[in-house]
Amino acid sequence: MTLATSNPLLQPWATPYGLPPFADARAEHFEPAFDEALKAHRAEVDAIGALAEPPTFENTVAAFDRSGRLLDRIGGMFHNLTSSETSPALQAVQTRMAPLLAAHDSWVSMHKPLFARLAALHAERGALGLTAEQRRLLERFHADFVRAGARFGPAEQTRYAQIMQRLAELTTRFGQNVLADETAYRLVLRGDADAAGLPAFVRAAAKQAAVERGIDDAMVITLSRSHIVPFLTFSERRDLREQAYKAWTTRGEHAGETDNRPIAAEILALRNEQARLHGHASFADHALTDTMAGKQSAVTELLSQVWAPAKARLAEEREALAALALSRGEAAQLEAWDWRYYAEKVRQVRYDLDEAQVKPYFPLARMVEAVFDCAQRLFGLSFTHQPQVQAYHPDVKVYEVRDAGHALVGVFLHDNFARATKRSGAWMSSFRSQSRNTGANGEAVLPVIVNNNNFAKGAPGEPTLLSFDDANTLFHEFGHGLHGLLSNVTYERLSGTNVLRDFVELPSQIFEHWLAEPEVLKRHARHHLSDAPIPDALIEKLQAAQRFNQGYETVRYTASALVDMAAHAQTTPPADIVAFEREELARIGMPDGVGINHRLTHFQHLFSGSSYAAGYYVYLWAEVLDADGYDAFVEAGDPFDPAVAQRLRQFIYSSGNSLEPSEAYRAFRGRGPTVVPMLKQRGLVEDAA
């Protein structure tokens, strides 16, 4: 029996839709499979570089885009499992493979014969008669290689490869440490005294968490956002709120094996060295050269437009919260673990809106129907559950996706529940990307897309009820999913979400707008017991309260974005990241008792990979685009206007990276974006009316 016949990862994946062989694969299969896939990719790259024929687009650029498909297939399965359904065995493989995979990436990007062919074509690109998409592919590959050190001398290339390998080790450890801290923590509540103030839906989720952890006769609050935020919002036990909040915000900041402080500091130092090899003073300067923003000043200008008005709004919100606390005979000095609790009380008084009153209308199953229905009405897509198809966990549902003509578009996996084997947060990923560059047979590659959320699972037989914020997260990630599913390009490098990082959040954030549309709510927000549609009065309250607490939310986000940019803008990176964070927050005038979205010790956007390093600002950048972009539907007078939806699909969801992002946005909107709709959306400026 050979490796190819004994290892299910190396055999043809004779599974429905070509999904990974989840049932057959084990952790020990991955390293030998990676070894074979790396050898195969090296052989493909060597063959392209050794061609005797002069370089052409087809024999060099298109051929390189086709290379590495076995590696992509195995890597797609592996990286999704280590995020969504990991184990000690998989984590051990992840630790060993991270530097090897990084070394391979460096080897490819520094392959002199291949880069010489790409560079020759790039120099003559205007005279090659390329299509717009072909030229874009050539330009993106050339930029990829240059940014990975292809032009460096031998000594610089050796050092650069060492940096990238070490960064791969460190970012892997950082993410594993955060997961370890999250998994280890549990706040056990016993009896009504511990659970004082918690609504039935919070108690039910906490009881289910206790059952899953084998704790009898108790409720458990974990560090999953869908547990911790409701607890901080409703618990009357200030001492327990403080305990839970401090555990949540000190992930990665404990001495011992899971201490992320030295890891993050070393990552920052290595990134700075990486940038200096490219001739930049800081990593922020280097990273931003390949973004829509382009430079630090553009990011600073955007963040400064919201920072001052957000702090002013926060001060008003604080006064209201303190007044309510005083009226109840409680402390007027609000701490970070108090804000959500008193904000909910103020919201109840000001808008007669109680989250416990809202949640029964947002069962998860109904909200999933809502995102599917919006995708059908906008883009003609249908999602059909395939219960007979097994995924990597029983909770994961597999859907067949077809277009209006009933042609198969792709496969969608929905993984919605928190568990100890899954990292926190919410994200979209792919097991397979869309493309048509498959060589002689020309058969299109259909995407396999997964959405991950971390909702607190309801007890057996009971529905999972979402907050409005949870539902918004569901819509957000589904927008990313549509970006992958609707991709309609030829080349894999340009497919789906492979876009500039300050454009990647536009498809997700614009899709959030449909959740708040009254006709969507009336159709899908239905009481889980009576099936009655959400009352108009409750919709009006939700809309009236949309801008409530936005000073708090905007300050927390913007502070995180400013700290990210500051940390990566240092020419001498900080050795003590906790002290740096504290000093930077003081420098920008961070208000007391608020907290930030992510502290550096658990800021996975920055340190579990590099995609959002010096890039957390992208959510606000994309919000400028999404607020302005959704106004196209408002101006059309119909949230499902067919003409606007067609432009949205063609230029935003389907074009991938085949168009320069500013060009894509202008093609959709008919002009460039303006910032005013975003400021109005956050309630930071008044409507003209």
Dist. CA 577–CA 529, nearest whole Å? 49
CB of 263 closer than 8 Å to CB of 174: yes
Q: At what angle do helices 261-277 and 577-587 cross, to 10 degrees?
A: 80
Residue 635 annotated among the catalytic residues of the structure: no
Backbone angles phi, psi at 445, to 5 degrees: -95, 120
b (16+ CB within 10 A) / e for 539-564: bebbeebeebbbbbbbbbbbbbbbbb
Q: Which of 233, 253, 87, 140 is nearest to 500 (CA)?
A: 140
The alpha carbon torsion through 191, 194, 198, 201 (nearest 10 deg) reads: -50
144 Cβ neighbours under 8 A, 6+ residues apart: 109, 493
Dist. CA 21–CA 259, nearest whole Å? 35
Q: Locate all alpha helices (DSSP H) within 602-656, ordered by sequence.
A: 604-607, 618-636, 642-648
| Secondary structure, 3-state, 478-545 | HHHHHHHHCCCCCCHHHCCCCCCCCCCCHHHHHHHHHHHCHHHHHHHCECCCCCCECCHHHHHHHHHC
Burial grade of 400 (CB within 10 A; 0-12, 13-18, 19 or more): middle
Q: Which of 321, 364, 359 is nearest to 339 (CA)?
A: 321
CB of 623 closer than 8 Å to CB of 678: yes
Residues linked to residue 383 through DSSP beta bridges, in sequence order:
401
How many CA atoms are closer than 13 Å to the CA of 299, on its beta-carbon side? 27
Dist. CA 590–CA 556, nearest whole Å? 9
Dist. CA 355–CA 341, nearest whole Å? 12
The single-letter code of the amino acid at 420 is: A
Determine which one of 477, 492, 505, 584 is catalytic.
Answer: 477
The single-letter code of the amino acid at 124 is: E
Sign of CA dihedral 274, 280, 282, 287: negative
By DSSP bridging, strand 397-402 and strand 219-221 are unpaired
Dist. CA 365–CA 514, nearest whole Å? 17
Dist. CA 30–CA 46, nearest whole Å? 24
Burial grade of 1 (CB within 10 A; 0-12, 13-18, 19 or more): exposed
Q: Which two three-digit tokens encode residue 464?
A: 């999972």
Q: What is the CA radius of gyration of the chain?
A: 25
Dist. CA 183–CA 355, nearest whole Å? 27
What is the set of active-site residues? 477
